[in-house]
Amino acid sequence: MKNYFKTGMFVLLGLGLTIACDDDDTTTVDNGGDGGGTTTTITEVSFTTEASGDGTEITVTPTSTGGTAYSVDFGDAAATNDADVMATAGPGVMYDYPNATATYSVSVTASATGAEDVTISQDVTVTYEAPAASDLVGEWVLAHRESALYLGAAPDKSVYWWGNGIADIDTRTCLFDDKYVFNTDGSFENQMGEQTWINWEYTDATESCGAPETPYDGSSSMTYFHDVDNNTLKLTGKGAHLGLAKVANDVLVSGPEAGPESITYSIVAISEDKNEFEVQISYDNADGTDGKAYWNFIFARVGSTGAQLDQTDSDGDGVIDLLDTCPDVSGTEENGGCPPAGEIEDPMDDFEGNGNITWVADGDTQMDTAAANPSKSGANTSNTVLMYNDNNQQYANIRFDLDENKTAKFDLTQKHTFKVMVYVPTPKEAHTEAKTLAVKLQDGSSSEPWNGQHVELQNYEYNVWQELTFDFSAVSTETKYSRLVVQFNGENNYEGVEAYIDNFKYE
């Protein structure tokens, strides 16, 4: 892969941009033994060449009469393991020469069953043209925001599987401090530091920070080519990558030794101020809507606001608002920015100041524990309630734990029923998902608390306060649950839900 931006040119010693080389000799082989058999001949062997990219990507297309297979030797003496020799049945084959103007002897050998090979050669001068300055020149890091790297089953976010959260910027600092450097001379650098995010596709792979592995440690020689016309960015050099090292064209790399020689990304956007850009790359995946999965990576220029977290700490507790579970109340770093809390024996909340629950909103879920009652009527005339808005998020929910250490557990042998009042206004856009409220019990101390959870569902109606009861007697002997989760309309649901709850109690 070569570097750069303008489409280059090549010249065949006075013959212009495209050449055709011919051999008028005829090879005739008598297959009959006594002169009465058939013969196979190869005549009029020729080839054309065409330059692309920065002028060093040369495509050779061979033709002949009688030939059925061809070997193309691009004549690069510096190539290893005959990488410059390619076979074809006729379609053009491309070789990427070094970034320099030079002349090479290109040979094409035509073959056919029963005929002697015919080889023609011609000197080709490859002209490399250095690019103009790119908007990408400079140092970049992954943008310090939610979904700076995200995965889905469609080129856009219509089928969204996963994206990093704000907390991941802290827990994956070793990834978000990696630098990606585009130099003016067309060279590229991965500056990984002492640690980066290790996430290969090994069978027993675990994701964690670790020392960079050769050649994914920035030690190899790498270049880039920013094709403005086609909105692509090609990195050349084993180990060169953006975002996650394991993601390459149409494959997930199994380990550092399996990395490709080059990777091409589609450029989705470059911001007007040239301080952010986004790329996309896909790989084959049976679960994708079109057989592919798509990774997007968003980068911010080092020194810009997007390359660092907003350090605002409204409550002055040393935990910035973006990472503070309780941004309006002074707490402790160990408690996620919330005040220390003791074990809750009988969780309840009437949202009038009499509750003992510290509610937490996951992801982008919007929550207000002192919202005005949207309908002071019927079964509920209280002034304040909890407002829940999932902001069209796939896995939106709110939750609480019995204690900050997640060690206290529900004793379901004594009590196993939860009650809550619910009010859901009719949405502006009609929903296709069922109108259900899920209450889940989980082990909050687990790294994957959703594994082994128990879920109870109840239906609700629009525009009326109603009390819903969730009975967990089916798991009354289970002793692992320390967390309760409340979720409207289920997971994998992108339909926006605004809802209100009140008078939560455990009986």
Instruction: Name 187's bridge partners.
Output: 223
Same-domain status, 119 and 180: no
**Based on the structure, what is the number of domains in the chain?**
3
* CA distance linking residue 130 with residue 125, whole number of Å: 16
Percent helix, percent strand, percent coil in the chain, to nearest 5: 5, 40, 55
* CA distance linking residue 368 with residue 336, whole number of Å: 18
Give 128-176 pLDDT, tens digit per residue: 887 667 899 999 999 999 999 999 988 887 888 889 988 889 889 999 9
- Domain CATH for 288: 2.40.128
Domain-located, residue 319 = no
Domain-located, residue 335 = no
Domain-located, residue 322 = no
Same-domain status, 263 and 400: no
Please, what is the end-to-end C-alpha distance for the chain in angstroms?
67
Give the pLDDT confidence score for residue 232 in this predicted structure: 93
Domain-located, residue 256 = yes
- Domain CATH for 372: 2.60.120.260
Give the pLDDT confidence score for residue 392 in this predicted structure: 83
Q: Which of 344, 355, 348 is nearest to 411 (CA)?
A: 344
**Tokens at residue 49, please?**
């060449």
Mention every residue, 6+ apart, whose C-beta is less than 8 A from residue 440: 450, 453, 454, 455, 456, 484, 485, 486, 487
Of 72, 99, 127, the position where a domain reaches its end is 127
Mean pLDDT per 10-residue interval, the chain, length 507 residues: 35 38 48 51 95 90 96 94 94 92 96 95 90 86 94 85 88 95 93 93 72 92 90 93 94 89 94 96 71 93 92 82 72 72 77 89 89 93 94 87 88 94 92 91 92 95 96 95 93 86 95
Domain-located, residue 453 = yes
Domain membership of residue 216 as a residue range: 138-307
* CA distance linking residue 218 with residue 422, whole number of Å: 55
Domain-located, residue 198 = yes
Same-domain status, 266 and 391: no
Instruction: Name 360's bridge partners.
Output: 399
Domain-located, residue 132 = no
Give 387-396 pLDDT, tens digit per residue: 999 888 878 8
Give the pLDDT confidence score for residue 7 in this predicted structure: 33
Dihedral over alpha carbons 320, 325, 329, 330 (to 10 degrees)? -50
